[in-house]
């Protein structure tokens, strides 16, 4: 838990990041700038920001490493899973404390989740831009609940435990991870395979994707802190059999109708059938 207040230092960093074009075509990153840096503009009278982490590390791996999918997308869309939990939590608080004003957010709203998590003592921001927790690594989703309720606040984690390690920087296939904890989002494999809509992936990236068809986990897979990751127990994140078992041929022969049926509750639907086909074609030799 952290005290709700404007994030002035983050505002400067975000502005500098946007000015360098590191958001690529992700225009939404520049929208609602004032809302991102001040929780009181998202929830009038906000006093506290509650941060929650939800582990998504799977207990199984894909069998086909020639068509790789980010672990966060193995099961159901996390937005739906977490929104339901946040709604339940807010209702539980109201039942115990009384009527309060609050809103839950997960990823799709203008909230600087990692900063609030760090301010709540849940971890530090690593060189790859991910929040890292000493006990569980970084394979988790971050959600926030902003409320007009004063709480006892946790101490922020001020120490950076990455030390001199540069594994995430050294192993990034597209050299998207820059010094000083800056990530050029416009060079990230996840950006090209998920965020880049209705456009061809630049030929300059050919041969650099390391077989990632949807998202990328390289910087997390090589992070020493993720040796502490343990399989999640969230039924909503149970891996789809197709994601674990599909061969290259299965992906190539998949029809749009079967895609919509199989992945109707999956994060893969964000890229749409055409995007998956584009990505598949691009990573093939």
Say what the pLDDT of residue 35 is.
Answer: 83
The answer to the question of residue 234 being in a domain is no
The answer to the question of residue 233 being in a domain is no
Same domain, 265 and 141: no
Q: Which residue has the higher pLDDT, 228 or 199?
A: 228
Number of domains in the chain: 2
Q: Which residue has the higher pLDDT, 276 or 199?
A: 276
Q: Does residue 109 carry a pLDDT above 80?
A: no
Same domain, 118 and 171: no
The answer to the question of residue 243 being in a domain is yes
Say what the pLDDT of residue 11 is.
Answer: 86
Cβ contacts of 235 within 8 Å, gap of 6 or more: none
Q: What is the mean pLDDT of residues 179-192?
A: 95
The answer to the question of residue 248 being in a domain is yes
**Model pTM score:** 0.93
Percent of the chain residues past pLDDT 90, beyond the cut: 86
Say what the pLDDT of residue 111 is.
Answer: 87
Mean pLDDT of the chain: 94
The answer to the question of residue 192 being in a domain is yes
The domain of 190 spans 167-223+239-283
CB of 146 within 8 A of CB of 4?
A: yes
Say what the pLDDT of residue 114 is.
Answer: 94
Same domain, 116 and 172: no
Say what the pLDDT of residue 110 is.
Answer: 74
Q: What is the mean pLDDT of residues 83-91?
A: 95
Q: Does residue 108 carry a pLDDT above 80?
A: no
Which residues are identified as catalytic? 107
Say what the pLDDT of residue 197 is.
Answer: 86
The answer to the question of residue 201 being in a domain is yes
- Residues 24-58: b if buried by 16+ CB within 10 A, e if exposed: bebeebeeeeeebbbbeebbeebbbbbbbbbbbbb
| Final residue belonging to a domain, choices 147, 178, 199 | 147
CB of 269 within 8 A of CB of 199?
A: no
Same domain, 13 and 114: yes
Same domain, 128 and 13: yes
Same domain, 100 and 186: no
The answer to the question of residue 44 being in a domain is yes
Same domain, 10 and 109: yes
């Amino acid at each position: 838990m952290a005290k709700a207040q404007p994030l002035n230092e983050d505002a400067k960093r975000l502005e500098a990041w946007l000015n360098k074009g590191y958001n690529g075509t992700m225009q939404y990153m520049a929208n609602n700038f004032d809302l991102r840096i001040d929780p009181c503009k998202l929830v009038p009278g906000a006093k506290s920001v509650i941060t929650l982490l939800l582990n998504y590390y799977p207990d199984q791996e894909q069998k086909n490493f020639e068509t790789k999918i980010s672990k966060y997308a193995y099961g159901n869309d996390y937005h739906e899973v977490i929104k339901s939990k946040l709604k339940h939590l807010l209702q539980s608080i109201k039942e115990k404390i009384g009527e309060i004003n609050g809103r839950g957010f997960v990823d799709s709203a203008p909230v600087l989740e990692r900063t609030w998590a760090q301010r709540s003592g849940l971890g530090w921001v690593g060189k790859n831009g991910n929040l890292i927790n000493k006990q569980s690594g970084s394979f988790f989703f971050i959600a926030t609940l902003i409320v007009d309720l004063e709480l006892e606040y946790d101490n922020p984690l001020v120490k950076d435990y990455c030390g001199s390690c540069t594994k995430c920087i050294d192993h990034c296939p597209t050299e998207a991870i820059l010094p000083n904890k800056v990530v050029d989002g416009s060079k990230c494999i996840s950006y090209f395979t998920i965020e880049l809509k209705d456009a061809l992936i630049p030929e300059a990236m050919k041969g650099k994707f390391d077989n990632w068809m949807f998202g990328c986990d390289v910087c997390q897979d090589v992070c020493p802190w993720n040796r502490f990751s343990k399989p999640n127990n969230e039924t909503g994140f149970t891996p789809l059999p197709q994601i674990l078992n599909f061969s290259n041929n299965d992906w190539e022969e998949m029809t749009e109708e079967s895609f919509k049926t199989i992945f109707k509750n999956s994060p893969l639907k964000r890229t749409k059938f055409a995007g998956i086909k584009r990505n598949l074609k691009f990573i093939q030799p």
